[in-house]
Every structure is written in C-alpha cells, then in structure tokens.
Amino acid sequence: MKTQVAIIGAGPSGLLLGQLLHQAGIDTLILERQTPDYVLGRIRAGVLEQGTVDLLREAGVSARMDREGLVHEGVELLFGGRRQRLDLKALTGGKSVMVYGQTEVTRDLMQAREQSGAPIFYGVSNVQPHGLKDEQPYVTFEHEGQVQRVDCDYIAGCDGFHGVSRQSIPEGVLKQYERVYPFGWLGLLSDTPPVNHELIYAHHDRGFVLCSQRSATRSRYYLQVPLQERVEDWSDDRFWDELKARLPEEVAERLVTGPALEKSIAPLRSLVVEPMQYGHLFLVGDAAHIVPPTGAKGLNLAASDVNYLYRILLKVYREGRTDLLQRYSELALRRVWKGERFSWFMTQLLHDFGEHKDAWDQKMQEADREYFLNSPAGLVNIAENYVGLPYEAV
C-alpha cells in the first residue's frame, strides 16, 4: 500500500488530521488498534476552545456540534463556599467555549471518515513505523492475520500516551518532563439535568469537585479522590452523598441524582516530551503530552497540534515548503507549554493537597486564590487561558 501521510491512532487527533488532509486532497491512511465502539466507549472531557471549534468547522464536521453543542459564556469558581462567576465573554473581549463531549467529536469525525471513503483500518496489531530518518519511511502492521506494509512520505503519531510512535524514537532523543499529583478524579456520567447552567469548579476541604455537563439532560461530575481509591468502592449513593457534602447548600439542594451511566477513576499527571518530531515522524496530541483535566485542555492541545501539522503539510504539498517541517515541534510546543502551565496552575489552585503540600506551598495556594480572584488582571488571566490562547500563523 501507498499513501502520503500514514496516521497511527484514530482518536480525535488522528481523525481530525485525517479529515483536514483528506479535504485538502492529501492522501492519508489511518491505523487504529481498537474497534470503533471501544474508541467511542472512552468518556473524556467536553469543553472546546474557540480555536478547536473553528478547526472542526474548517474540517466540515461541525454540523451536529453547532446544533447540539452548548455555548458557555461563563464558568464558576468556588472557594470556601464563595461562588465567583468568571464572565468569559466580558473578560476576553467576546470569546466563549463550547460544551460538546469528546466522544461526540470523535463520533462525528468517524462518520466523516467513513463517508469520505478514505482508508481506515480498525483492529490492527503490531503497528511499527520504520525508516523514520529515510526519504521513504513506511509502517508495517497486521490486519486480519496478514502482515501489511504502507509506504508514505510522513508518519503522524496520533496514538496517545501508550502508543508505539513515541516509543519508536531511539533512546536519548527525547527529553521528558513530568509532574504527578497525589490524587485522581472519580468521574460519574448520568442522565440527569446539570446542577448549574454553567460549569462549577469548586475547592473544598474534603477535596475538589467539578460539576460539568454534556447536555440539558446529561451531567458529568468529578470528585478528587486519593490515588489508591477503587471505583468498586464507590456506589452511586456514596458518590452523590460525597458530591453534596462538597457543594454549598444552595447548590447541593438543587442536585438531581440518578443511576451512573459510567464511573471511572483517572490519575492526574502532567507530561511533555521534546521534541515532537523525529525525522519523518511527528507526534501529535496525547502521544507527546498529557495534562491534568482541571483546565479542560487535553483535547484542545491535541487540536492545536493538528492545526500546526495540518497547515505545515498543506504548504509542503502545495508550495514545496519542506523547510517548514522542522518548525512543527517548536510551534506546537510553544502552545503546549502554555496549556501545561494553565492546567498545572488550575490543579494547584483548586485541589486539596493535604499533607502533600508543605506549609509554604499552602500559603502560596491561598495567596494565588486571593490574588487571582480579586484582581481584574487575575480574572482575565484565567479567562483568556480557559477560552484558549490564539494559534500562531504558520
């Protein structure tokens, strides 16, 4: 087989890159280890920055998002029971975010891929990139018991944190930066109306909570829990009771509870590898960086990487600008680091670190809360990062 860009992984990164390139007349082939149902079964965040929304529109996959997505012009931060609304629109000169689940974004992208007729192989195994430093790299994989080979110009490693792409870069090339946090998030999805029309990020002595949503009838809630916690130990009732205990009374009494559609625990970590390119292989999204979910940046940073790689490849194929390829990592990382900083900052600001924070750091956390929420500049700082910083021109 032959293609121009071989894409490993059919999460949002791989599918969005594939869709944009396909629209531009550039051939792609996507290889995914799982089945479509498995990919769609993963429940992830649901807040899209303006830049992500614009990119999905550019990719021609926004019809359902524009119909069903909820535009949010504000978000609430809550400390010690005190509610503070961030008027995103006013603080950012008119920007907002779109609440639309990653699962739905992925579903729309999968459908677009199917309609395009462009090749995508699900359920492949033993995917292996080769000749990354050669003019003609290739990828081998197994599909339905057969070993296959696809020759290509470039390989996009969109295969998430556990993927093969990053691992196929020789040892010593990448530098890894990491921060782990001493807690995780226990999430619950339910067909109940959201407790608030906007998202609530709340700090509480019992731990952080997030009240999020997918639609007017579907809610997503999260509780900060110790890392060793097991999801089996959390009945729905226990979850709802704990959530209520961490919310101010006027919010808790409005909470509508119901059976969980999904419940899972995710550890929180920050991780970046540099550079995001090795020869003809480009790392995109979770393959190169992880953020804690507190800033809602995971999918948005993936879209940001896709934006840069797509625009560079467009100029490579249309204008012969192969010189731009070596700029991908630098451009992508500049924005990634800002997203990492914001996600880390929000995680620090909102969680209870208990004995994991020394007395000095506790005081810094309190000072940050005092400063950021009581200063117009502090509020603008949080708001402009939350709605998403601009992309640089390529």
Site residues (CB under 6 A) for ligand PHB?
A: 45-47, 210, 212, 220, 293-294, 296
Q: Which two tokens stand for residue 16?
A: 């969005």
Among residues 31 and 211, whose Cβ is nearest to ligand APR? 31
Q: Which two tokens stand for residue 335?
A: 């924005």
Q: How many CA atoms lie within 13 A of 93 on its CB side?
A: 5
- The site partner of 46 among ligand PHB, ligand APR, none (C-beta below 5 to 8 Å per kind) is ligand PHB
Active site residue 100: no
Contact (Cβ atoms closer than 8 angstroms) between residue 308 and residue 394: yes
Among residues 11 and 275, whose Cβ is nearest to ligand PHB? 11
Strands 28-31 and 5-8 come out as: parallel
Q: How far is the CB of 75 from ligand PHB (least distance, A)?
A: 9
Query: To which residue do tokens 């700029």 refer?
Result: 327
Q: What share of the chain is helix, strand, coil (3-state, %, to 5)?
A: 40, 30, 30
Q: Would you tell me which residues interact with ligand APR (CB under 6 A)?
A: 8-14, 31-34, 39, 44-45, 102, 127, 158-160, 162-164, 285-286, 298-299, 302
Q: How far is the CB of 196 from ligand PHB (least distance, A)?
A: 13
293, 308, 317, 351: the active-site residue: 293
- The site partner of 257 among ligand PHB, ligand APR, none (C-beta below 5 to 8 Å per kind) is none
Q: How far is the CB of 225 from ligand PHB (least distance, A)?
A: 15
Q: How far is the CB of 267 from ligand PHB (least distance, A)?
A: 14
- The site partner of 20 among ligand APR, ligand PHB, none (C-beta below 5 to 8 Å per kind) is none
Residues 6+ apart with CB under 8 A from 168: 128, 129, 132, 281
201, 222, 278, 317: the active-site residue: 201
Cβ count near 267 (within 10 Å): 13
Among residues 157 and 295, whose Cβ is nearest to ligand PHB? 295
Among residues 294 and 365, whose Cβ is nearest to ligand PHB? 294
- The site partner of 163 among ligand PHB, ligand APR, none (C-beta below 5 to 8 Å per kind) is ligand APR
Q: Is the dihedral of CA 250, 251, 254, 259 positive or negative?
A: negative
Q: What torsion, rounded to 10 degrees, do the Cα atoms 12, 127, 278, 394 define?
A: -30
Point out which residues pair with 213 in neighbouring strands: 219
Q: Which two tokens stand for residue 126?
A: 């033993």
Among residues 195 and 288, whose Cβ is nearest to ligand APR? 288
Contact (Cβ atoms closer than 8 angstroms) between residue 37 and residue 124: no
Q: How far is the CB of 126 from ligand APR (least distance, A)?
A: 8
Q: Cis link prior to 275 (omega < 30° from 0)?
A: yes
DSSP state of 293: G
Q: How far is the CB of 349 from ligand APR (least distance, A)?
A: 20
- The site partner of 168 among ligand APR, ligand PHB, none (C-beta below 5 to 8 Å per kind) is none
Active site residue 297: yes
Catalytic residues: 72, 201, 293, 297, 386
